[in-house]
């Protein structure tokens, strides 16, 4: 049985910071953030937004795009590393906000930025095994990436969610069964202690851990696919490569590494062709942790000028700590038109720029949000309003 993506949905905050402006405020050359890291804008969530509201918004878009009803969903998993509770999963709040059926398996997964991929691969097996019995899985990657004001990681923050509707009717991508290569190693490259809202990161070491994991997963994929050898670079079997993208430059480093492993003497030469279109949207949003590779995938389908139908895409997901996976999928007819119709580029264009003091005020306010007394807030859509009796309250 086939399994893959029937539709997808994206949610990003309505506000962002220009990284050139942030650089000037920090006394750094703007070129370091914009060219050195490859990020132009960084999404900053308003205080009424959290991992739950972003997830619910993205899920609603994915469901509407596929004409999926609440009863159609038999599994709802949220992959996140910025959950809102130590016990109650983000997915339960989302189930409530979306009014999904009680006949649904609902839970949350965590493994840094790999959590959503773990859920996606599990959902794929659920569909292929026949256990889904025609139901769909809603996999949502939702995070607010936060390193803290003034830290080296600050320009690599962001916020957003990507929802993936998985079923036996893949209208966007059909994943290739058995073609996955995993790599895991116990490393301390990035973590967030229970007492902290900000991540702790050994930045340069995390880049090396990512590249080591990429190499391990890429080799494991080749073994699993049993198609090594032959003419030319192995990665030319893919019409596009989508890497986990904490910031754009990381994808460039990843691609250079893959092509070097392939024996390519000019490892950067294929970057624009194979990777470029996947970075258009991420460069406007920044790091969204679990969702970042899937935002890059949406960017590829939305922004590539090449006809990709029937072609293979390679995907690399990395979660610090660490676990990584290289896997592949085939683009389905009209997938690009369907994703273009979501108007994602337009969605990003409509956002409002924050000044640096506005951004810093929001970051400070977020410190106290978890026990802010609930109050009615004006506005539309899913909104976090605060807590009452230790319970988080949401407007829908």
Q: Which residues are annotated as a binding site for (3S)-3-hydroxy-3-methylglutaryl-CoA?
A: 147, 253, 287
% helix, strand, coil for the chain, step of 5: 40, 25, 35
Q: Which of 168, 169, 173 lies closest to 127, judged by CA?
A: 168
State the Cα–Cα distance between residues 283 and 275, nearest whole angstrom. 13
391 binds ligand COA (CB under 6 A): no
For the bound state, the minimum distance from the C-beta of residue 154 to ligand COA, rounded and expressed in Å, comes to 8
CB 297 within 8 A of CB 275: no
Q: Which is nearer to ligand COA, 136 or 146 (CB)?
A: 146
153 binds ligand COA (CB under 6 A): yes
The residue from 82, 156, 251, 284 that contacts ligand COA (CB under 6 A) is: 156
Determine how many CB atoms are found less than 10 A away from the CB of residue 346: 8
290 binds ligand COA (CB under 6 A): no
Q: Which is nearer to ligand COA, 167 or 292 (CB)?
A: 292
The residue from 24, 26, 36, 360 that contacts ligand COA (CB under 6 A) is: 36
Determine how many CB atoms are found less than 10 A away from the CB of residue 211: 17
Query: What is the Cβ-side half-sphere exposure of residue 370, based on CA atoms within 13 angstroms?
Result: 10
State the Cα–Cα distance between residues 75 and 89, nearest whole angstrom. 14
State the Cα–Cα distance between residues 49 and 153, nearest whole angstrom. 21
Binding characters for ligand COA, 197-236, by CB under 6 A (x = yes): ----x-xx-xx--x--------------------------
CB 113 within 8 A of CB 318: yes
Instruction: Indicate left, alpha or beta for 88 from its phi (over 0: left) and psi (-120 to 50: alpha).
Output: beta
CB 41 within 8 A of CB 16: yes
306 binds ligand COA (CB under 6 A): no
307 binds ligand COA (CB under 6 A): no
152 binds ligand COA (CB under 6 A): yes
For the bound state, the minimum distance from the C-beta of residue 382 to ligand COA, rounded and expressed in Å, comes to 28
List Cβ neighbours of 361 (8 Å cut-off, separation of 6 or more). Answer: none
29 binds ligand COA (CB under 6 A): yes
70 binds ligand COA (CB under 6 A): no
Number of residues that bind ligand COA (CB under 6 A): 20
Supply the angle between the helices 90-98 and 51-66 in degrees, to the nearest 10.
50
For the bound state, the minimum distance from the C-beta of residue 125 to ligand COA, rounded and expressed in Å, comes to 26
For the bound state, the minimum distance from the C-beta of residue 15 to ligand COA, rounded and expressed in Å, comes to 21
158 binds ligand COA (CB under 6 A): no
Known binding residues: 147, 253, 287
- Report the catalytic residues: 81, 113, 244
For the bound state, the minimum distance from the C-beta of residue 278 to ligand COA, rounded and expressed in Å, comes to 16
For the bound state, the minimum distance from the C-beta of residue 232 to ligand COA, rounded and expressed in Å, comes to 27
Supply the angle between the helices 248-261 and 203-225 in degrees, to the nearest 10.
50
CB 376 within 8 A of CB 38: no
144 binds ligand COA (CB under 6 A): no
Q: Which positions from 245 through 264 interact with ligand COA, judged by CB under 6 A? A: 246-247, 249-250
31 binds ligand COA (CB under 6 A): yes
**Residues engaged in binding ligand COA (CB under 6 A):** 29, 31-32, 35-37, 152-153, 156, 201, 203-204, 206-207, 210, 246-247, 249-250, 320
């Amino acid at each position: 049985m086939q399994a893959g993506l029937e539709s997808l949905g994206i949610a990003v905050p309505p506000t962002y910071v220009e990284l050139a402006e942030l650089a000037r405020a920090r006394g750094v050359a703007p070129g370091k953030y914009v060219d050195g890291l490859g990020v132009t804008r960084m999404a900053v969530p308003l205080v009424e937004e959290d991992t739950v509201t972003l997830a619910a918004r993205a899920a609603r878009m994915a469901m509407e795009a596929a004409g999926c009803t609440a009863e159609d969903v038999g599994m709802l998993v949220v992959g996140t590393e910025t959950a809102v509770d130590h016990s109650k999963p983000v997915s339960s709040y989302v189930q409530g906000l979306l009014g999904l059926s009680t006949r649904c398996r609902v839970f949350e997964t965590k493994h840094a930025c790999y959590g959503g991929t773990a859920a996606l691969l599990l959902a794929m097996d659920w569909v292929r095994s026949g256990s889904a019995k025609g139901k769909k899985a809603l996999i949502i990657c939702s995070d607010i990436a936060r390193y803290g004001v003034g830290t080296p990681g600050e320009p690599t923050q962001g916020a957003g969610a990507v929802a993936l509707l998985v079923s036996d009717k893949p209208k966007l991508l059909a994943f290739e069964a058995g073609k996955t290569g995993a790599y895991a190693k116990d490393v301390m490259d990035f973590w967030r202690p229970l007492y902290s809202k900000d991540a702790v990161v050994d930045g340069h070491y995390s880049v090396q851990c990512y590249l080591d994991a990429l190499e391990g997963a890429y080799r494991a994929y080749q073994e699993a696919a049993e198609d090594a050898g032959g003419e030319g670079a192995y990665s030319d079997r893919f019409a596009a490569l989508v890497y986990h993208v904490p910031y754009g430059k990381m994808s460039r480093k990843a691609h250079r590494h893959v092509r070097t492993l392939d024996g390519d003497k000019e490892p950067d030469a294929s970057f624009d062709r194979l990777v470029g279109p996947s970075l258009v949207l991420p460069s406007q949003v920044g790091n969204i942790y679990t969702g970042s590779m899937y935002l890059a995938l949406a960017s590829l389908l939305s922004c590539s000028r090449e006809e990709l139908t029937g072609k293979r895409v390679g995907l690399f997901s990395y979660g610090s700590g660490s676990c990584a996976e290289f896997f592949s999928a085939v683009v389905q007819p009209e997938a690009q038109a369907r994703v273009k119709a979501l108007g994602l580029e337009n969605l990003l264009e409509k956002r409002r720029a924050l000044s640096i003091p506005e951004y810093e005020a929001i970051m400070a306010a977020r410190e106290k949000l978890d026990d802010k007394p609930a109050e009615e807030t004006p506005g539309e859509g899913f909104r976090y309003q605060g807590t009452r009796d230790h319970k988080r309250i949401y407007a829908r």
